[in-house]
Amino acid sequence: MALTEDEAAVYDRQIRLWGVEAQKRLRDAKMLLVGLDGLGAEVCKNVVLTGIKSLTLLDDQCSCEDDRMVQFLIPPDCIGQNRAIASLQRAKELNPLVEISACTDNVDTLPDSYFQQFDLVCMCGYTKNTMDVDYVEIKKALQVDYKLFRPTRLRRTSKVFFLMKVIDEFYQRNKSSSTDSLADVDNLKHVRDELFGDDSEKLLPLSYLQNCQGKLNPICAIVGGILAQDVIKALSAREAPVNNFFFYDGNKSEGVVDKLCL
């Protein structure tokens, strides 16, 4: 179906960038966004502005004071309310042409049939075990044995990859995925040393453990922009998504795409 005059007028600049056919595919796409933290808000903004058909915001958590600093979709007077519900009005104001709804269910309790109505599911702020999929699971991807890397390959691998392995193991041991718990640097260091032994400081300097907790709005904007860009690539079928990890290194203020051996 052809674009309407309103759609052509609103999306004129991006149609010039990726073409009418890509915009049509975006216009017909239904997406589920799980997790309305600071990163989720950035993804929501970027995806809604591109003009997909519909977006469902799913989050069973209530907003807190930390969200006030990084989650711009939640008005200050809505702190304490469910994050999906509180984000709904401002998300709708971004683009009236997009159908946006909110769901407050726990993602773990929803049947598989619920997800089949969407063309794409994006999850922000969840651990590797939250959901299993039919393609290579992130759980398996993060189990890559760094000891098999050649020295040159090891030097090129982002420190953030090793940080993710430490944080994941830390969460598994503590039965928690709260970022507040990451303030326990001594415990993180203990996990790091157990995982990497004599290579610990070389693979993951202590400064990474000291700076890994908390959220910053500018970093949410950067990573959210990259993630939303990949969402657009997938839905528009115009370009291949990132192959296959994007790491943002806060210590170096740089982002890199790394293809790990799976």
Instruction: Output the pLDDT for position 126.
Output: 76
Superfamily of domain 5-126+216-246: NAD(P)-binding Rossmann-like Domain (3.40.50.720)
Query: pTM for this one?
Result: 0.74
In this model, does residue 241 exceed pLDDT 80?
no
Task: State how far the Cα of 14 lies from the Cα of 151, in Å rounded to an integer.
Answer: 43
Statement: residue 109 has pLDDT above 80: yes
Would you say residue 236 has pLDDT above 80?
Answer: yes
Q: Angle at CA 106, nearest 5°, toward 86 and 60?
A: 20
From CA 253, how far away is CA 102, in angstroms rounded? Answer: 34
Residues 6+ apart with CB under 8 A from 126: 34, 35, 107, 177
Domain with CATH 3.40.50.720 in the chain: 5-126+216-246
Q: Are 142 and 54 in contact (CB under 8 A)?
A: no
Q: Does residue 150 have a pLDDT over 90?
A: no
